Amino acid sequence: MKLSKFDIGAEVISILTKGMYQDPRDALREYVQNGIDAGADSISIKVRQNSVVIIDNGTGMDYSTLRKSIRVGISDKDPKKKVGFMGIGIYSSFHLCDKLVIFSHKKDNAPLKLEMDFSTMRNTLKEQRQLRIEDKIDANELIDLQTLLEDCISLTDDGKLSDEDFPTIGTRVELIGLEGNFLNLLSNFTTLASYLQEVIPLHFDRNKFQWAEKIENDIQKICNKHNAAIQLINLFLQVNAISGNLYRPYEDSNFSNNTPNAPVFRELTKDNIFLGVAWACLNSDRKKIQNKELRGFLLKKQGFAIGNRDKTAPYFRQRTHFDRYVGEIIITNPQILPNASRSDLEYSQYSTLFFEILANEVATYYIQESAKYQEQNIADEQISNFSNFLNKLNVDYKRDEKDTNVLVNYIVELNNQISNIKGKENNSYITEQQKKDIKTLLNSAQSFIEQIQDSINNLAKDAKQTANKTKTKSKSRENAQISIAKKISKIKATKKEIPNYESLSDLLSDLDIELNDEIKFILEIIDERFIQGYAHNRQEYYEMMSDLRNTIIENLN
């Protein structure tokens, strides 16, 4: 069946652009993407009054390339090499501004100028909709897409402009007459910068993120090994009087104590097929990343974001570990393509393979790394607490103690400490040094118990016999205590300081457990009547809260 231009109504351009670019900032992403596809490594975006200007230092376009750019749904870009290949991006600002003006200058060619009168296009479509509502025209009288574009698009003839009209090699995109609501959104430097930092392939800020250089270099090395390419750009943003260079949003301040753990990398490969690379930095304690917008992994095709971080969360199953990371999963395989709106991947056997690897290998790997760090961190705390307890006991314990109750309490406390840490030496996640330290502490504690039990047995004997034996055993016990102290002193406590919690509510809040007012009230009663009631002094209360914290963490994870 033969079709004519009248079979494609002009309304399709409005439907396509409104459906694909619901966020007006997506238009800026599209024009930046076009610049990167043209080889640009430096791009500026300037929002002034009611206009936006985007300038790139790419190769620029000759007449043939610029003429082809106005085609709808047709692109000469190679989808295996370029992110933008749908042939719609140039119309992404259709609902955003009155007019789109593009200057482009390619080396050894005269500059060119393309104008698109979006305002007239929209008004024409609006008028026709109203006429249809009033039954003044029928479907056969609606303007077709070709006629609408021909009436509202102009392109200068090749050679008509001179270098003075646009001397710079590259492309300049102007969005003129921004619509009011969109202008308000684009006029906020902070929100616009935050959006661009997430979705554009930017460099890391080496002044604010200590792992910036390593991540960039290691990703490049991995990609080079597999003959894959990653292109990053310098992006300058100016919104009225506020301006600055933009970088990826990752900073040391995103992490607890301003200290992100060293980045961990993971290659995404299957049957010698390289799909991409993942990187992530774990928080330096067992807490979630404070900034909710940066928790977890952002999926990217080359450097452009695909959806948001919530898209990858389900593949990790355990949100607790997911939220402790800041990272990205960067797809480089040319067979895996994003959809037109960049919200997801196009369905294919390669995208299916990618999601299988993400769920079964990548997510599992990072969960295990987080769990390993958590267990080692807890072990450090327990080793340090146990070591401090034995050191204190070594000072408090009197060789000539006559009060059996005191001695029995020592044994009870020692057994409690042993029960808290016993079995940890078999944990596959902790280090060999930690296992060795735990065994040393357990042996030292057992030696203490034997000494104290010996003292209890001596007290039960005849006073005369006890007096005769005390002198002999006293020296032996003293030497044993010195031996224990030496063993404990060799253990390096790497524990990070745990705060002294003043209440049960403070403890749970520190663990990111959300509490409403009613729960807090109940916790105050439990805290006052039970936990504080069992503590003999403030220090013992702090120690009880510390033990409770470790128990909660172990059971939650």
Report the pLDDT value the prediction gives residue 10, as an integer from 0 to 100: 72
Please report which helix (H) or strand (E) contains residue 171, including its range: strand 170-178
Report the pLDDT value the prediction gives residue 133, as an integer from 0 to 100: 83
Measure the CA–CA gap between 41 and 26, rounded to whole angstroms.
20
CB neighbourhood size of 181 (10 A):
10
CB neighbourhood size of 281 (10 A):
24
Class of CATH domain 10-40+59-179:
alpha beta
Measure the CA–CA gap between 28 and 45, rounded to whole angstroms.
8
Burial class (CB in 10 A: 0-12, 13-18, 19+), 64: exposed
Confidence of residue 82 (pLDDT cuts 50, 70, 90): very low
pLDDT single digits (tens) 402-435: 888 888 898 899 898 888 888 888 888 899 999 9
CA angle, corner 48, sides to 47 and 54, nearest 5?
40
Which has more confidence, 551 or 18?
551
In the chain, what percentage of residues exceed pLDDT 70? 86
Contact yes or no for 36/77 (Cβ under 8 A): no
CB proximity list for 257: less than 8 A, separation 6 or greater: 284, 285
For 150, phi then psi, to 5°, come to -65, -35
In DSSP notation, 441-475 reads HHHHHHHHHHHHHHHHHHHTS-HHHHHHHHHHHHH
Report the pLDDT value the prediction gives residue 221, as an integer from 0 to 100: 95
Alpha helices in 303-431 (DSSP H): 313-316, 319-322, 349-357, 363-396, 404-421
pTM of the model: 0.75
Which has more confidence, 142 or 55?
55
CB neighbourhood size of 75 (10 A):
18
4-18, 313-327, 335-349, 511-525: least confident range: 4-18
Q: Which of 279-283, 415-419, 508-512 has the highest mean pLDDT?
A: 279-283
Helix (H, G, I), strand (E, B) or coil at 169: coil
Measure the CA–CA gap between 322 and 324, rounded to whole angstroms.
6
For 537, phi then psi, to 5°, come to -155, 175
Measure the CA–CA gap between 163 and 168, rounded to whole angstroms.
8
Measure the CA–CA gap between 331 and 276, rounded to whole angstroms.
4
CB proximity list for 267: less than 8 A, separation 6 or greater: 222, 226, 274, 277
Pair type for strands 325-331 and 296-301: parallel
Q: Please give the mean pLDDT across all residues of the chain.
A: 85
In the chain, what percentage of residues exceed pLDDT 90? 44
Q: Give span(s): CATH 3.30.565.10, the chain.
A: 10-40+59-179
DSSP conformational letter for 68: H
Which has more confidence, 63 or 478?
63
Both tokens of 352, joined, read 């299916």
Contact yes or no for 197/246 (Cβ under 8 A): yes
Q: Which position has the token pair 């995103």?
A: 254
Which amino acid would we find at residue 370?
Answer: S
How far is C-alpha 354 from the chain's CA centre? 19
CB neighbourhood size of 222 (10 A):
22
Which has more confidence, 291 or 552?
291
Q: What is the b/e burial string over 115-137, where b = at least 16 CB atoms within 10 angstroms of the residue's CB?
A: ebbbeebbebbeebeeeeeeeee
Measure the CA–CA gap between 510 and 547, rounded to whole angstroms.
14
Q: Is the pLDDT of residue 473 over 60?
A: no
Both tokens of 112, joined, read 């060119």
Burial class (CB in 10 A: 0-12, 13-18, 19+), 138: exposed
- Helix-helix angle 363-396:404-421, to 10 degrees: 170
Which has more confidence, 388 or 461?
388
pLDDT single digits (tens) 168-185: 899 999 999 998 878 888
pLDDT single digits (tens) 132-152: 888 888 877 788 888 888 899
The DSSP bridge partners found for residue 300 are 305, 330
Which has more confidence, 188 or 5?
188
Contact yes or no for 335/348 (Cβ under 8 A): yes
